[in-house]
A = this chain, B = another copy of it.
């Protein structure tokens, strides 16, 4: 049991403040333990019995008292300064602590009236936690004020910075557990302060919580020598303030004065920057290191083993209560050590001393609208597409770089929404490499370090966020979206796998949020995946991986969209669409290399609206059912398919070929699986029920099988795509290595179509010869054969 704390004689806090904060802290600790353990008898009005205790004890105690301590002191400073603060809880497994505070603030009951601020409500609060049909054990979307689930550690700090960008009045208090601090994404995110402008962004106050232990191990940062820790944090660009100890009242004193100082420093930095009286340099932002015992105020020892201040406090320090009366007694003593009778009134509601320790209204961190960003979200002002469209009077009359065209459009989106300051591009140092540099005509890259005369598009005012950490990019954008703004992440296709797990967590967040009535929709998370597998001929095998789509398809269908626009105008339409959507993850895969253009803007609009369609102009002249369907999804597969169809039409003019292009991959799924899915009838009308389908796909071939295996004609689908055959070579050779090139497609069509299987032998041989010519040519010249192409269409 914790000792009764000594009250220091002289205190900077008034006795009333001190006791108010401590009462609040005890109340939140009590409610935390109650959630983990109690089914009934929530106020301990009677002696604790086994039947009052949950049969399965789930939850994490260890981190919770520290989280509560921080919460209490943030509340104090919010009240004192009328500060606008949200709380990002890195150790999200301390869910019961976060719930406890939102309950004390009244927010929980406002949003869930059945969990009222009285004994009945407290009983429900306790029972529902980690209970079937109840609430999750983490700081999940169900927790008011949360924008960080925290189950998968590592993203608290990048989320916090994402929330702070373009929110000048907001202070994001970000608790980082010392376990989380060992992860790569967290370690990278410390440098986010190099991108935060005190003049027009908010502030992040990192609070490194050293409670010393992970699940079963000490943590690195808690055990390295203190001077090394300080050096590390200074190296990250912070001024660290240390709050260390275990005596509650001394710790309250120290924490209160450190919080004051940190908030004062933040205010000074901002005032200087906003008055233009600052140095113009990156300021040295304060941060707090809280070193407190794991499981602070919990059982000191259990069964003779050290528990408080040790990893044994991580989850449930007391267990096996059914067979252990002593443990049950210890639990009761532990709960009573918080003196609940002083904290809750007769009806079970918190006493005024506790209630008044929390701020009111939207100053409550659990009710701050920034943490329910949809409440603040304004739709983007969308510029027109027409000025950016590529003129295409005839398919294939010219080439364009699709992402460069998109860059021009994004420039206008940036410009049009400049006043709102609610749109950002993020990416790992690749905005220009990905041909989006058009945006640099209206804004630069954010950069708070020194700017040299030779630097380009770089400075404190930049709205493009570039850091060579896909994790940080993703975390920033998530934080930005979760607080009600808009954005797009452009990335090399292969390396988006780096954030697979972050994608998973965000998709789960969106999925869970949909069932929570008070969570308002947030803008979609938009990816542009470019420098894709077919354009990494120069960087080679390590840069060739189109598999992110497969990760995405594992998530709930209604959350995920995948678009493969075949040219610049379709990319424009898709971009325009995704920036208007909410609560989704949109993945756009599009190339940056000069490539043939097929559709005018109007045609592109119609095609993108349908998501999939027959390209009559490219198909054969025959009417009725085709002999063979040539389908394609992706820019390079579209070029190869159309080139193959040209060869077929030249050499087999009687063959009735149908060309289908897929922009919206989700149309292939059954309607009952995905809202964009075609009905079986519509699908069969496109793909026939019995004709061979040669499908050229951008990614791994089995992705198409996975999407279409329930379709009538699936057994006739022959899919070509990326088969992990890659190296440093020419662009066209990449398609040849994987059998996605025009010559292989022609051969497939000839082989699979009954009418041509015999008659097509000479054409097949011709294709083999072309492949050999290609092979010899590139080895002699180091580049692809010059392409001389005059596309011939049905209407010509």
* Residues of chain A whose beta carbon lies under 8 Å from any beta carbon of chain B: 39, 54-56, 58, 93, 130-138, 140, 149, 151-154, 179-180, 182-191, 194, 214-220, 223-224, 228-237, 306, 310, 429-433, 445, 447, 449-450, 452, 454-456, 458, 466-472, 494-495, 497-498, 500-501, 504-505, 508, 511-512, 538-543, 545, 547, 550-551, 553-556, 700, 702, 705-706, 709, 714, 724, 727-730, 733, 778-779, 781-783
- Given contacts A235-B229, A501-B495, whether A215 and B430 have CB atoms under 8 Å apart is yes
Q: Roughly how many angstroms separate A214 CA and B189 CA in the complex, as a whole number?
A: 18
What are 21 A-B pairs at a CB distance below 8 A?
A: A58-B538, A130-B728, A132-B729, A133-B779, A138-B540, A151-B539, A152-B494, A180-B468, A182-B188, A182-B191, A183-B184, A184-B472, A187-B188, A187-B469, A217-B429, A220-B449, A228-B237, A234-B235, A497-B551, A505-B542, A554-B700
Q: How far is the CB of A767 from the nearest CB of chain B, in Å?
A: 19
Could you tell me if A724 and B555 are in contact, using CB atoms closer than 8 angstroms? yes
Q: Roughly how many angstroms separate A433 CA and B216 CA in the complex, as a whole number?
A: 8
Taking a contact as CB atoms closer than 8 A, the residue among B56, B182, B431, B724 that contacts A511 in the complex is B724
Could you tell me if A540 and B136 are in contact, using CB atoms closer than 8 angstroms? yes
Q: Roughly how many angstroms separate A678 CA and B236 CA in the complex, as a whole number?
A: 55
Contacting residues, chain B, for A132 (C-beta < 8 A): 729-730, 733, 778-779, 782
Could you tell me if B724 and A223 are in contact, using CB atoms closer than 8 angstroms? no
10 interchain residue pairs of minimum CB distance? A232-B235, A151-B542, A184-B184, A187-B187, A184-B188, A231-B235, A497-B501, A223-B449, A182-B468, A132-B778
Q: How far is the CB of A752 from the nearest CB of chain B, in Å?
A: 15
Q: Roughly how many angstroms separate A455 CA and B305 CA in the complex, as a whole number?
A: 11
With both beta carbons as reference points, the residue of chain B lying nearest to A181 in the complex is identified as: B468
Taking a contact as CB atoms closer than 8 A, the residue among B39, B214, B706 that contacts A706 in the complex is B706
Contacting residues, chain B, for A705 (C-beta < 8 A): 705-706, 709
Q: Roughly how many angstroms separate A498 CA and B503 CA in the complex, as a whole number?
A: 10
Taking a contact as CB atoms closer than 8 A, the residue among B137, B429, B782 that contacts A54 in the complex is B782
With both beta carbons as reference points, the residue of chain B lying nearest to A707 in the complex is identified as: B702
Q: How far is the CB of A314 from the nearest CB of chain B, in Å?
A: 9
Residue with the highest number of chain B CB atoms closer than 10 Å, among A447, A505, A709 = A709
Residue with the highest number of chain B CB atoms closer than 10 Å, among A185, A310, A470, A730 = A185
Q: Roughly how many angstroms separate A186 CA and B429 CA in the complex, as a whole number?
A: 17
Could you tell me if A152 and B495 are in contact, using CB atoms closer than 8 angstroms? yes
With both beta carbons as reference points, the residue of chain B lying nearest to A508 in the complex is identified as: B541
- Given contacts A136-B541, A218-B447, whether A454 and B306 have CB atoms under 8 Å apart is yes
Taking a contact as CB atoms closer than 8 A, the residue among B228, B466, B501, B512 that contacts A498 in the complex is B501
Contacting residues, chain B, for A154 (C-beta < 8 A): 184, 498
Contacting residues, chain B, for A153 (C-beta < 8 A): 468
Could you tell me if A93 and B539 are in contact, using CB atoms closer than 8 angstroms? yes
Could you tell me if A310 and B454 are in contact, using CB atoms closer than 8 angstroms? yes
Q: Roughly how many angstroms separate A505 CA and B445 CA in the complex, as a whole number?
A: 30
Contacting residues, chain B, for A235 (C-beta < 8 A): 228-236
Q: How far is the CB of A288 from the nearest CB of chain B, in Å?
A: 17
Q: How far is the CB of A68 from the nearest CB of chain B, in Å?
A: 21
Could you tell me if A137 and B188 are in contact, using CB atoms closer than 8 angstroms? no
Contacting residues, chain B, for A724 (C-beta < 8 A): 508, 511, 554-556
With both beta carbons as reference points, the residue of chain B lying nearest to A234 in the complex is identified as: B231
Could you tell me if B468 and A137 are in contact, using CB atoms closer than 8 angstroms? no
Q: How far is the CB of A513 from the nearest CB of chain B, in Å?
A: 11
Q: Roughly how many angstroms separate A151 CA and B531 CA in the complex, as a whole number?
A: 14
Q: How far is the CB of A469 from the nearest CB of chain B, in Å?
A: 5
Q: How far is the CB of A627 from the nearest CB of chain B, in Å?
A: 23
Could you tell me if B232 and A220 are in contact, using CB atoms closer than 8 angstroms? no
Q: How far is the CB of A774 from the nearest CB of chain B, in Å?
A: 10
Q: Roughly how many angstroms separate A443 CA and B586 CA in the complex, as a whole number?
A: 48
Could you tell me if A554 and B550 are in contact, using CB atoms closer than 8 angstroms? yes
Q: Roughly how many angstroms separate A733 CA and B134 CA in the complex, as a whole number?
A: 13
With both beta carbons as reference points, the residue of chain B lying nearest to A496 in the complex is identified as: B501
Could you tell me if B182 and A215 are in contact, using CB atoms closer than 8 angstroms? no
Q: Roughly how many angstroms separate A190 CA and B39 CA in the complex, as a whole number?
A: 46
Q: Contacts A151-B541, A183-B469 given; 8 further ones with Cβ under 8 A?
A: A151-B539, A154-B498, A180-B468, A182-B469, A187-B187, A232-B236, A497-B551, A511-B724
Contacting residues, chain B, for A224 (C-beta < 8 A): 194, 237, 449
Contacting residues, chain B, for A779 (C-beta < 8 A): 132-133
Taking a contact as CB atoms closer than 8 A, the residue among B182, B186, B497, B508 that contacts A504 in the complex is B497
Contacting residues, chain B, for A456 (C-beta < 8 A): 216
Contacting residues, chain B, for A498 (C-beta < 8 A): 152, 154, 500-501
Contacting residues, chain B, for A550 (C-beta < 8 A): 550-551, 554
Q: How far is the CB of A520 from the nearest CB of chain B, in Å?
A: 20
Contacting residues, chain B, for A452 (C-beta < 8 A): 218
Contacting residues, chain B, for A217 (C-beta < 8 A): 429, 445, 458, 466
Could you tell me if A709 and B700 are in contact, using CB atoms closer than 8 angstroms? no
Q: How far is the CB of A483 from the nearest CB of chain B, in Å?
A: 20
With both beta carbons as reference points, the residue of chain B lying nearest to A217 in the complex is identified as: B429
- Given contacts A55-B783, A215-B433, A237-B224, whether A545 and B179 have CB atoms under 8 Å apart is no
Q: Roughly how many angstroms separate A31 CA and B224 CA in the complex, as a whole number?
A: 45
Could you tell me if A56 and B783 are in contact, using CB atoms closer than 8 angstroms? yes
Q: How far is the CB of A699 from the nearest CB of chain B, in Å?
A: 9
Q: How far is the CB of A308 from the nearest CB of chain B, in Å?
A: 11
Q: How far is the CB of A651 from the nearest CB of chain B, in Å?
A: 27
Q: Roughly how many angstroms separate A153 CA and B182 CA in the complex, as a whole number?
A: 19
Q: Roughly how many angstroms separate A154 CA and B538 CA in the complex, as a whole number?
A: 20
Contacting residues, chain B, for A180 (C-beta < 8 A): 468
- Given contacts A179-B429, A500-B551, whether A540 and B234 have CB atoms under 8 Å apart is no
Q: How far is the CB of A460 from the nearest CB of chain B, in Å?
A: 13
Q: How far is the CB of A739 from the nearest CB of chain B, in Å?
A: 14
Contacting residues, chain B, for A714 (C-beta < 8 A): 709
Q: How far is the CB of A621 from the nearest CB of chain B, in Å?
A: 34
